[in-house]
Homo-oligomer: A and B are copies of this chain.
Amino acid sequence: MASFAEDESPIMKGDAAAKASDYANYFCSYAELYHQKQMLMDHNRMRAYHDSIMLNKSLFEGKTILDVGTGSGVLAIWAAQAGAAKVYAVEFTDMALHAKALVEKNNLTGVVEVIQTSAEDLDLGDVRVDIIISEWMGYFLLRESMVDSVLRARNRWLKPGGTLFPSHATMLWGAITYEEDRVDKQDEYTSSMRDWDIFVKEMADTYKVDMSVLDKHYEREQREYYIYSSLWTELGMQHVVGQPAVVRRLDLNTCTIAEAANVPKVDWSVQVDFNTRVSGFAGWFTVDFAGSEGTPVKQRVVLSTGPEGGRTHWGQQVFYLPEPIDCVPNTRLHGELVMDRQTKNKRLYTVTASINVDDEPEPRFAEAKYEMP
């Protein structure tokens, strides 16, 4: 069970500096209708949430629901339409004003209560809720670190035996072949370094300043930018090599905030199924609306953001290798994976992987470290 003694994150309470830069970096885009519309037009996302509520109406009828980060209020409205007695819809940004207008327009004023506050500052008094719904997932599941707020709300306001919608999450790590795209990024890097050489010569010739001491730094900066940064990509099944490895499963009903914050060092393994050139790896996730022991669903719904699931706005995060790996059937790629929050911005992540081929004594890549921008 979740520990109810988990510490409050220092980020959202008291620390005004962290809060301000968090707002500048993170919350502001969620205050735009344009951005809300993009999420609302993601039909795989919409269908999964809609079905999970509408195919399980009996869980909502007469119940008290909390929607964490309601945005324009659509999930809260669906919960009310499914028969909820009361829905608390919490939103930090001014999007809350639009949510209020939508609730009114859809004749749900008595049922949905929009509260403009952070999940951390929410005060429901003695009320406890039966279900918490939230769409908190970022790229490769964890980006944005919004799950903290959802689990903190769970620890405080969810009845024993209640459940989260979604209730479970799975992170996947797949080998991919996509040389056209990988080589494009390599070419951009090469071209950028060629530009730098021209620039350094110009600075010396024209302006009498020797910049060559920065060559190494520039190379590192550009490698981090073009090669060691993950990319948002829409992969097709033709890009996926073998079965993806599961690197993390979370039961959101019970996991701790710390458990949902990162991927501690985990072994992964992918068996290659045909002759191919592996260009790198991709990370994505699925979430399940499966309920909990105390609140089982009638109809389980799964939302997949993998290449097999059709398009979503999450796409996949792609991590290209500086050199491809040529594989034959039954080559086994394996290694370790770690995913940690960046120190400079806790809503962003760093993914570090080691990559081995079969039983080769040395890893092909001992510690490939990627920033997820």
Contact = CB atoms under 8 A, between A and B. Distances in A.
**What is the predominant secondary structure among interface residues of chain A facing chain B?**
helix
A102 B207 contact: no
Contacts of A211: 72, 102
Interface residues of A, number: 47
Nearest to A214: B98
Contacts of A217: 33, 98, 101
Interface in A75-111: 77-78, 81, 98, 101-102, 104-106
Given A17-B17, A20-B17, A102 B25 contact: no
A34 B77 contact: no
A213 interface: yes
A199 B40 CA distance: 9
Contacts of A77: 209
Contacts of A243: none
A341 to B, nearest CB: 16
Contacts of A221: 32-34
A18 interface: yes
A46 interface: yes
A21 interface: yes
A106 B209 contact: yes
B34 A210 contact: no
A207 B33 contact: no
Interface string A22-46: 0111000000111001001100001
A212 interface: yes
A200 to B, nearest CB: 10
A110 to B, nearest CB: 17
A298 interface: no
A46 B207 contact: yes
A225 interface: yes
B37 A210 contact: no
Contact of A21 (B20, B72, B199): B20
A258 interface: no
Contacts of A104: 213
A201 interface: no
Contact of A33 (B18, B78, B106, B218): B218
Nearest to A50: B207
Interface string A1-27: 000000000000000111111011100
20 contacts: A16-B17, A17-B17, A17-B19, A18-B20, A20-B21, A21-B24, A24-B24, A40-B199, A41-B199, A46-B207, A50-B207, A72-B211, A72-B214, A74-B203, A74-B207, A81-B208, A102-B214, A105-B212, A105-B213, A106-B209
Interface of A: 16-21, 23-25, 32-34, 37, 40-41, 46, 50, 72, 74, 77-78, 81, 98, 101-102, 104-106, 192, 196, 199, 202-203, 206-214, 217-218, 221-222, 225
